[in-house]
Amino acid sequence: MGIAASSTIGAGPAQALSNFCNLAEEVGENLLAGTSHALAYGAPGVPRHAVGRNGLGFARDGSCQTFPDISGGGACVQAILLRRPILATTCFENCSVLDEKLLPAAWHCCADTADVEEHAGSLPEWALQYEQLSEGAFHGRVEQIHLPGAYMVKETMNRSVRQRGEIGRDMYGFALVLQPDGEAICNGQRLDSNSLLVGRGDDLDLCNTHASQIGALSVDCDMVNEISQRIYDRPLASWLEQQVVVVVGQEVASSLRARLNSVFFNADLPGAGNWDGEPAISRFRDDMLLAFLDELPLETETSHLRSIALRRRVVNRAREMMLARVNEPPSLLEVCSHVGASHRKLNYCFQDILGMSPARYLRILRLNGVRRQLKSERDPRVGVQDVAALWGFWHLGQFSADYKRQFAELPSQTLRAVLC
């Protein structure tokens, strides 16, 4: 049964959801509750639909299509299905799923972002906090492919950013930079174009040193162990319980980059949805995992991780002190005394882990804090000066200049966009 699709991008949230409920009822499908999510639907003979935050649109030809965010946040969402008929949801904000059985075997979605907080919110499976380190307007893009027990991410950012948190406590991660001249610092280890980041996903601290594109595959730990035992007839190497940067060489890294880029490119094509059920999807997932596992050594040097962990501890303790006194920023002498390190050692630790001095990071940390608070402010009585003072900025003129240099807009513009 076909449905005549008419765009409701300009409709309000209630009308958009009502229209989609009517469509879902016509084809005898259930609908997920909640309006603050991206939702995709596809079935034979029925146009695919995608719901951006509080909005609804249609892709009549079954291809991937972008739908603007009509809630005012500025995000655009793309959704395309990799198996049909299915019903899928990606939680970008609060979204309740009534029945997990409705989740698909596989799906692919994209989000273009204009702020690091928005960027972090487009990766719902990752519990990461983002801080913009370099100056200028932020633009990013997140592409995700979800598979049974695994997901793939291609993350593009035009600014240096620190990502800190978890990408899955019960998952192993495999990551590499996707541009030949790319570089990042992960837990104090240099990740360049000839290496892979491998290990558990429960403690990530990654800084891309400039504009970057990073690809990652995350797979359930039990699944990785089972495949390793079945294919290689041995358990996983114990060093995989840590996060280690492994040098694999230019040829191997280039091959893996080409494979990941090809997967995401093909997922955008109109015929991407015609996979022949879950067995084919599972084979694809296993092949991707084996492409990485085949290149890993049985043993690798990990003795350097202990000294890196000590330097990370110094940086984290300094950051905790800075956050505990944001309204009265500590001097570097006070920070050194708190962490028990000389000024030279403190600077060395920050350069090694974050690629910048502690003084510069303290200023950037506070600017990011102000921006985060301004973007979450809903009280019209609260002004820029109030929030700036909470983060220890007392000279409003200098603060505004620093803020604009960091984020390419005045703090008043940030607040006005939220309150309008």
**Coil, strand or helix at 177:** strand
Which of 83-87, 114-118, 325-329 is predicted with the least confidence, judged by mean pLDDT? 83-87
Residue 240 has pLDDT above 70, yes or no: yes
Average pLDDT over residues 55-78: 35
Q: What percent of the chain is modeled with pLDDT above 70?
A: 72
Q: What is the pLDDT of residues 16-48, one digit of tens each?
A: 334 433 433 333 333 233 222 233 333 222 223
Entry field: residues in the chain: 420
- Read off the pLDDT of residues 138-189 as tens digits, 9 standing for 90 and up: 999 999 988 888 989 999 999 999 999 888 788 999 999 998 888 999 989 9
Is the pLDDT at 5 greater than 60? The verdict is: no
* Those residues with Cβ within 8 angstroms of residue 323's Cβ, 6 or more apart along the chain or in another chain: 365, 369
* Strand order from edge to edge, sheet including 127-132: 127-132, 161-166, 204-208, 183-186, 189-192
pLDDT band at 420, cuts 50/70/90? confident
What is the reported pLDDT for 207? 93
CA 72 to chain CA mean position, Å: 21
Residue 409's beta-bridge partner residues? none
Rounded-to-integer distance, Cα 157 and Cα 130, Å: 12
Q: What is the mean pLDDT of the chain?
A: 76
Q: Which residue has the tokens 């990485």?
A: 292
Q: Per residue in 354-380, pLDDT tens? A: 999 999 999 999 999 999 999 988 888
Single out the residue of 120, 91, 76, 77 nearest to residue 33, CA to CA: 91
Residue 301 near residue 245 (C-beta atoms within 8 A): no
Q: What is the pLDDT of residue 276?
A: 55
Of 186, 142, 181, nearest to 164 by C-alpha is: 186
Could you list the beta-strand ranges (E) of 126-278.
127-132, 140-147, 150-157, 161-166, 168-177, 183-186, 189-192, 195-201, 204-208, 212-220, 243-247
Per-residue pLDDT at 8: 26
pLDDT tier, 277 (very low <50, low <70, confident <90, very high otherwise): low
Q: pTM of the entire structure? A: 0.75
Question: What's the pLDDT score for residue 270?
Answer: 59
**Most confident option among 26-40, 99-113, 279-293:** 279-293
For 397-409, what is each residue's pLDDT tens digit?
999 999 999 999 9
Strands (DSSP E) found in 22-123: 38-43, 46-52, 55-59, 65-68, 76-81, 86-90, 107-113
Instruction: Report how far residue 100's alpha carbon sits from residue 119's, in angstroms, rounded to the nearest whole number.
Output: 25
Question: What is the Cα–Cα distance from 36 to 44, expressed in whole angstroms?
Answer: 26
How confident is the model over 70-86, as pLDDT tens digits?
A: 333 444 434 433 333 23
Quick one: pLDDT at residue 88?
Answer: 34
Q: How far apart are alpha carbons 380 and 117 in whole angstroms?
A: 21
Amino acid, single-letter form, for residue 36: S
Residue-wise pLDDT tens digits, 193-230? 999 999 988 888 999 888 889 999 999 999 999 999 99
Instruction: Reply yes or no on domain 305-419 having CATH 1.10.600.10.
Output: no
Annotated domain spans of the chain = 105-293, 305-419
- For residues 92, 98, 104 and 105, what is the CA-based torsion angle, rounded to 10 degrees? 110
Angle subtended at Cα 351 by Cα 348 and Cα 354, rounded to the nearest 5 degrees: 135
Q: Are 17 and 49 in contact (CB under 8 A)?
A: no
Which overall architecture, per CATH, does domain 105-293 show?
Answer: Sandwich (2.60)
Residue 346 pLDDT: 96
| Cβ contacts of 151 within 8 Å, gap of 6 or more | 125, 144, 145, 217, 218
Q: What is the pLDDT of residue 3?
A: 23
Mean pLDDT of 334-359: 95
Quick one: pLDDT at residue 56? 28
Poorest-pLDDT segment among 92-106, 226-240, 367-381: 92-106
Q: So what's the pLDDT on residue 388?
A: 95
